């Protein structure tokens, strides 16, 4: 009967509303880092031919996830979409498909609400057409004042730190400084300013889907004081209640910076 078919959805909705009521807006993260993981496994578990099915399913989930964040007043989200390790470890045909999926996703997000889209990562190894489309979306949304969405593409935390140090050295040399001067100037704040995310706040919370419990070279510097939350669901299967549980868990934690 219809009421029995509707029952799971009704129960889910009631549970989601209950979770929302348990959230304290003053104890929500301002910046969430999301490690998007499990797309390929999602496709494999469904016996779908080719990992592209999983990547497309993950891309379809991202706008939905960002709306959940936006509606709770989260100010910034950084999505880990493609690592520097992926660029050397994935087959060329998979990368070509991924480049197109990510470019389409960026363009879609640029049309959503009043979101500001920014690419964080290195251009090395990325498809020129992908870079061109990312730049166009960045420029088109640069003045937007809504949710700030960072797309970590061609991103690696160790490479980011190395690039930051190289940038500091180049600037110092250009200004005619000496090695001794640089040693005196070098500080965590200076390095932070030269990261791909320079000028942006560090993530308060890093979430990873698929049950894996590791950072995989994501925001190594920025996550020094972040909280972490691991979700068993593969990313395309992520539900709003999974997200709300993460928010509830974060709100209950007593953050100890450096202790």
pTM tops 0.85, yes or no = yes
Domains and CATH numbers, the chain: 25-252 (3.40.1180.10)
Cα–Cα distance measured from residue 3 to residue 213, given in angstroms and rounded to the nearest whole number: 40
> Residues 6 or more apart from 233 whose CB is under 8 A from it?
38, 209, 210, 239, 242
Cα–Cα distance measured from residue 45 to residue 174, given in angstroms and rounded to the nearest whole number: 54
Closest CA to 107 of 126, 129, 85, 91: 129
- pLDDT of the residue at 230: 98
pLDDT digits (tens, 9 = 90+) for 134-149: 999 999 999 999 999 9
pLDDT digits (tens, 9 = 90+) for 41-74: 999 999 998 899 999 999 999 999 999 999 999 9
Cα–Cα distance measured from residue 122 to residue 189, given in angstroms and rounded to the nearest whole number: 21
- For residue 5, pLDDT beyond 70: no
- pLDDT of the residue at 9: 82
Q: Which positions are annotated as active-site residues? A: 37, 86
Determine the average pLDDT of the residues in 246-258.
89
Cα–Cα distance measured from residue 81 to residue 88, given in angstroms and rounded to the nearest whole number: 15
Instruction: Count Cα atoms within 13 angstroms, Cβ side, for 68.
Output: 20
């Amino acid at each position: 009967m219809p009421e029995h078919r509707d029952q799971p959805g009704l129960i889910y909705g009631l549970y989601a509303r209950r979770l929302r009521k348990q959230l304290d807006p003053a104890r929500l993260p301002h910046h969430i880092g999301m490690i998007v993981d499990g797309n390929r496994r999602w496709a494999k578990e469904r016996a779908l031919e080719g990992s592209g099915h999983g990547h497309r399913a993950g891309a379809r989930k991202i706008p939905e996830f960002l709306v959940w964040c936006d509606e709770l007043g989260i100010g910034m989200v950084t999505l880990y979409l493609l690592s520097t390790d992926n660029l050397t470890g994935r087959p060329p045909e998979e990368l070509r498909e991924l480049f197109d999926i990510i470019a389409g996703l960026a363009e879609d997000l640029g049309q959503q609400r009043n979101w500001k889209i920014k690419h964080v990562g290195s251009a090395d190894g990325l498809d020129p057409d992908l870079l061109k489309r990312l730049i166009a979306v960045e420029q088109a949304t640069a003045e937007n004042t809504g949710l700030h969405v960072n797309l970590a593409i061609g991103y690696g935390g160790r490479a980011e730190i190395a690039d930051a140090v190289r940038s500091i050295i180049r600037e110092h040399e250009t200004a005619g400084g000496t090695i001794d001067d640089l040693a005196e100037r070098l500080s965590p704040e200076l390095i932070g300013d030269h990261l791909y995310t320079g000028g942006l706040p560090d993530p308060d919370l890093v979430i990873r889907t698929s049950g894996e419990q590791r950072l995989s070279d994501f925001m190594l510097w920025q996550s020094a004081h972040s909280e972490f939350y691991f979700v068993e669901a593969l990313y395309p299967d992520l539900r709003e209640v999974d997200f709300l549980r993460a928010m509830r868990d974060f709100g209950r934690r007593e953050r100890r910076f450096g202790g």
